[in-house]
Amino acid sequence: MSIAGRDFRELRLEDLNRSFGMLNALKGVSLSVKRGEFIALLGPSGCGKSTALNCLAGLLTLSGGSIWLDQTRIDRLKPEERGFGMVFQNYALFPHMTVRRNIGFGLTMQRRPKEEIARKVEEALAIVRLSQQGDKLPGQLSGGQQQRVAIARAIVIEPPLVLMDEPLSNLDAKLRLEMRSEIRRIHDLIGSATIYVTHDQEEALSLADRIVVMRDGTVRQVGTPAELYGRPAHADVAEFMGYRNVLPARVLDGSGSGCIQVSVGGAALEGMAVEQRPADQAIVAVRPDDLRPASDGPVAAIVESTQYHGREFYCSGRASDGTELYFCSPQPVRKGERVLLAADPARVLIYAGTP
C-alpha cells in the first residue's frame, strides 16, 4: 500500500511511545494535525523531538501507540510507502548528481514517466527559486541554495506531509532569517502540512500555526505562538519560552478576583494566576523585557551586569533577599547601582506550586 500524494484531512498521533532500551524517549505523545497546518515541535535537546519525527517518517518503529492519516493506520508502513517529504539539517544531497537529478530522484524511484519528472522538477525548481541552477552540482551551491534543493526534493513528490528536522541549523544568522520566510512561503504555496523540529523558540514563534512544546518525551503544551508567548500553561514551559525570571514566591493576597499579590525578591509584586490559583506557595514568571526600572517600582535590586543590545540594555541584578533578577532598561545602568523595578501585573504570570 502506498499513500504518497494523498490528500488528507487529519493526521493523528495516538499515544506514541518509543523506548531505546531502558530509556523512554516518547511517553504517550498524542497530537492532531490538519491539512495546511504548520506545526513546530519545540523543546530542549533530548526531549524527543527527532524521535517523534523519525517515528512519523517511518525511520523508527513505535514501541506503542498508532499513527493515522484519516481512517488509515500508517505506522506499520515503510517510509517510502508513507510518501512524506523529509528535510534534514545536513541537506543529505547526492554530491555527484546535478540539482535536477537530486530533485527528481524520488520520482525516478517511483518510475514516473520522463516527461512528468522533467515537468515536476522544473515546477519545484521554480517554487524554491533555483530555476537557473538546475545543472549545477550541490558542491557548487551555497548552504542556503543546497537547503532549497533539499526542500525541492521533499516537495516534488507532492507529499501530504513535509517533515523538517532543524533544517536551518547549519546556516548563518542572516540566511537563517531569509530561509525562514522562504520555508513558510513554500508551505503556504503547496498547501500540505509541515511538521518542523526546532529548539529555537523564535523560529517556532515566527513560523508555526501551532507550537507543540515537548519535555522529557511528553507534550507539555500545544498552542498558537501568541498563546505560548503570552500565557504558557506551566512554569517550565514559560522558562523555555523566554521567561528568564522563574522564581519561587509566597502568596500575600490571593483574594482579589483578578490580580494576586505575591512576595518575590523581598518585595510585593502583583500578577495574574495561570490556570489554578495558588494557595500559599507559587512560582512567578516574568520576561526580562517586562521588568523595567521605574521610579516607584516595588522591587529593589543592585545591578550586577549590563549588556548593550542595540535598542536597550539587558541587565541582571540582585534583590535584597539575594534573588537574581533579569531586566531590561532603555537607559544605561551602572554595575553596583540600585534600581527600582516594576512590571505590568498582566505580564507577571503566577503558577501554583514550587519550582
Ligand X SMILES: Nc1ncnc2c1ncn2[C@@H]1O[C@H](COP(=O)(O)OP(=O)(O)OP(=O)(O)O)[C@@H](O)[C@H]1O
Residues at the site binding ligand X, with contacts judged by CB under 6 A: 20, 23, 25, 43, 45-51, 199
Strand partners, 176: none
To ligand X, the closest distance from the beta carbon of 45 in angstroms equals 3
Of residues 185, 182, 165, the one with CA closest to residue 174 = 182
Contact 106, 71 (CB under 8 A): no
Nearer to ligand X, 216 or 312 (CB): 216
CA distance 207 to 187: 10
Nearer to ligand X, 158 or 203 (CB): 203
Helix (H) or strand (E) holding 245: strand 245-253
User: Could you write out the three-class secondary structure of 172-212?
Assistant: CHHHHHHHHHHHHHHHHHHCCEEEEEECCHHHHHHHCCEEE
Nearer to ligand X, 18 or 187 (CB): 18
Cα distance from N-terminal residue to C-terminal residue, the chain: 49
Nearer to ligand X, 64 or 266 (CB): 64
Nearer to ligand X, 63 or 66 (CB): 63
For residue 104, the SS3 value is helix
To ligand X, the closest distance from the beta carbon of 60 in angstroms equals 8
For residue 121, the SS3 value is helix
Nearer to ligand X, 25 or 247 (CB): 25
CA distance 201 to 229: 9
To ligand X, the closest distance from the beta carbon of 88 in angstroms equals 11
To ligand X, the closest distance from the beta carbon of 205 in angstroms equals 17
Between helix 99-109 and helix 143-155 the angle, nearest 10°, is: 20
Contact 213, 31 (CB under 8 A): no
To ligand X, the closest distance from the beta carbon of 145 in angstroms equals 25
To ligand X, the closest distance from the beta carbon of 24 in angstroms equals 9
Contact 327, 315 (CB under 8 A): yes
To ligand X, the closest distance from the beta carbon of 219 in angstroms equals 12
Nearer to ligand X, 61 or 108 (CB): 61
